[in-house]
A and B are shown apart, each in its own frame.
Chain A
Amino acid sequence: MFNKILIANRGEIALRVINACKELGAKTVAVYSEADRHTLPVRFADQAVCIGPPRAADSYLNIPRLISAAEITGADAIHPGYGFLAESASFAEVCEASGITFIGPGAGLIRLMGEKDRARREMAAAGLPVLPGSDGVVRTEEEAKAAAARIGYPVMVKAVAGGGGRGMRVVGSEAELPALLAAAQHEAGQTFGCADVYVEKFIARPRHIEFQVLGDKHGNLTHLGERDCSIQRRHQKLLEESPSPAVSEEVRQEMGQKVVAALRALGYNNAGTIEFLLDDEGNFFFIEMNTRIQVEHPVTEMVTGLDLVKKQILLAAGARLEMLVRPNLKLRGHALECRIVAEDPETFKPSAGRITTFNIPGGTGVRVDTAAHAEAVIPPYYDSLVAKLITQGKDRREAMARMARALEMFVIEGIHTSIPVHRQILADPDFLAGRYDTHFLDRFLRNHIPV
């Protein structure tokens, strides 16, 4: 095991890692920018090193300063948390070259999963379904028709240079194709100066489903069930749950087996998350893999009873998986997580400032992961996450009832937060029935009177 672990992060995840280290008996080193001098990770770590000015590029993203901090404190491992350098293959490499263990799967796997196209090809080769599409650019009607027929309607014609919904058309049948292809090509040319388009399977109501995995350095790997993260706004997740109301036990088994087989083949180790789109008919398509601990890891912890950050540390130290996770682990009950962010609930503008009142809800089945407190300052330099409110129940209904009452009791004053939006989601009939997809929040926000 490690003697001393440096946490190359800030806020709630830095505190979360400190918790795990303390429980494992490892000493901790917090690093902080000048903006974070008076924060809880600095206070609760055994040692703290100021690494730079507030700008992340000069502090939390500055590899030489982090390595120097590890060297002067004698840390033998670095936990990167999430964000910042958590998925930087070069940081992992520099750590290894400096004789410091990077707590993660290693530079090679981080680099592979960071190159999205290569990751898709490798995962398809390893047996995971990927979203069917044309083999590159389609130029003529005939090429497009052939590709669409192979993929199956409906399909999406998308600009190669695309983004923001421009140069995109959903095509329901072959009869519609010629006109919509021409329209997409024209719009792409007008908008991006490049008329190249490709064809991809269209999923009308996709859900974002991700599987948590843990692997050791001896070739063993297991999955810990899925999380449903479909409640998102512009790809920012706002609420997550496990298990997903849309995944049956049969599908979980099937997907779990495919995930484990594919990642074992790659020699994946440590914690990771593999993300899929799920369509109405129960088909999964691989999107990408995250080679780090995720923000929403607590929902999996609540239904498995495992401390994932401790497992990460032990796995990085060389522990064998069978010592950490018992075989045939079953998910227990249900868990939800609301990401409370410092944003104006109407405009979603970031709301930095000093927190004046901070009342954390408690009671059975409620967990709050946060580094915030009354009088704490949310600085404008970093992401806007203030707290993660997690509830657990024997079933989804109980977890939701707990979440609703915990949101009522969570009082934050001095800054704007997303709590009012979360309260409304928890009162929405479609959400309560488990009927939602990745477009839910956009529809929901359009249909709701501003809070």
Chain B
Amino acid sequence: MKRKAAAKGKGKPKGKPAGDSLIPFAQVQALVDLLEERGLEEFEMERAGVRIRIRRRGSLPAAPVFESYLPGAANSGPAPAAESRSAEAQAETAAEMGLLAEDVHVVKSPIVGTFYALPQPDALPFVKLGDAVEVGQVLCIIEAMKLMNEIEADVAGQVVRIYVENAQPVEYGEPLFAIRPGKKK
């Protein structure tokens, strides 16, 4: 879900050049290279606070269009100062791209609701990072309209990433877990 901070404080105006610390230049360069390499026309990625779109225009593949903005920043208004991306978040992005390249399976939320990692407040979580899971194993609960919906793994493998925090609201299609598929032991 997209939560937008109220536009206040000293934010960066929209449309600053790519090198301006929102996303490291090298990362953009890597994406451009990927586009070239795979012969893709357009690439779009949205993550908390940042959206990148790179598109090839006609016969000018060397000059991709680059856009980045913080959602919630109105056309002319200042961008929200809160939730500006930290170095840690950027590192995460790189890690995630690494994972994507490895072809992990992402379990997404099939409904809108509240994510619970634990069956009960004082219990252990259903799964932890690094756990091996089987098809049909319960990964979490999503509460919608007072109903507890168990979300099961649809592949067997190892949990390599948990995208959401306990008790966090999630929207339809929001990534919950990344599972690196592996043979059942």
Q: Which residues of chain A have a CB within 8 Å of any CB of chain B?
A: 34, 42-44, 46-53, 59, 64-65, 67-69, 71-73, 98
B169 interface hit (Cβ, 8 Å):
yes
How far apart are the CA atoms of A46 and B174 in the complex, in Å?
Answer: 19
How far apart are the CA atoms of A34 and B108 in the complex, in Å?
Answer: 13
Taking A64-B145, A98-B145 as contacts, is the C-beta distance between A49 and B112 under 8 angstroms?
Answer: yes
Cβ-defined partner of B171 (8 Å) among A43, A53, A69: A69
How far apart are the CA atoms of A33 and B183 in the complex, in Å?
Answer: 35
Instruction: List 9 additional A-B contacts (Cβ < 8 Å) besides A46-B6, A68-B144, A72-B169.
Output: A34-B173, A50-B173, A50-B174, A65-B112, A67-B145, A69-B112, A69-B171, A71-B144, A72-B170
A-B pairs with CB below 8 Å: how many? 60
Q: For the complex formed, measure the closest distance between the CB of B167 and the CB atoms of chain A, giving whole angstroms.
A: 10
Cβ-defined partner of A50 (8 Å) among B3, B144, B171: B171
Q: For the complex formed, measure the closest distance between the CB of B94 and the CB atoms of chain A, giving whole angstroms.
A: 24
How far apart are the CA atoms of A43 and B73 in the complex, in Å?
Answer: 9
How far apart are the CA atoms of A49 and B170 in the complex, in Å?
Answer: 8
CB-CB nearest in chain B for A27 = B6
Question: Can you list 10 contacts pairing A with B, beta carbon distance less than 8 Å?
Answer: A47-B2, A49-B2, A49-B172, A64-B144, A65-B144, A67-B144, A71-B145, A72-B112, A73-B1, A98-B145
> Main SS of chain A's interface residues?
helix
Taking A34-B173, A50-B172 as contacts, is the C-beta distance between A72 and B4 under 8 angstroms?
Answer: no
The 3 A-B residue pairs whose C-beta atoms are closest, nearest first, are: A72-B169, A68-B144, A68-B112
Interface 1/0 per residue, B119-144 and A, CB below 8 Å: 00000000000000000000000001
B71 neighbours in A (Cβ, 8 Å):
43
How far apart are the CA atoms of A176 and B167 in the complex, in Å?
Answer: 75
B113 interface hit (Cβ, 8 Å):
yes
B114 interface hit (Cβ, 8 Å):
yes
B111 interface hit (Cβ, 8 Å):
yes
B171 neighbours in A (Cβ, 8 Å):
49-51, 69
> Are the CB atoms of A72 and B114 closer together than 8 Å?
yes
CB-CB nearest in chain B for A52 = B172
How far apart are the CA atoms of A64 and B146 in the complex, in Å?
Answer: 10
How far apart are the CA atoms of A71 and B112 in the complex, in Å?
Answer: 10
Q: For the complex formed, measure the closest distance between the CB of B140 and the CB atoms of chain A, giving whole angstroms.
A: 15
CB-CB nearest in chain A for B1 = A49
How far apart are the CA atoms of A43 and B70 in the complex, in Å?
Answer: 10
A53 neighbours in B (Cβ, 8 Å):
172
How far apart are the CA atoms of A68 and B143 in the complex, in Å?
Answer: 8
B4 neighbours in A (Cβ, 8 Å):
46-48
> Are the CB atoms of B1 and A68 closer together than 8 Å?
no
A43 neighbours in B (Cβ, 8 Å):
71
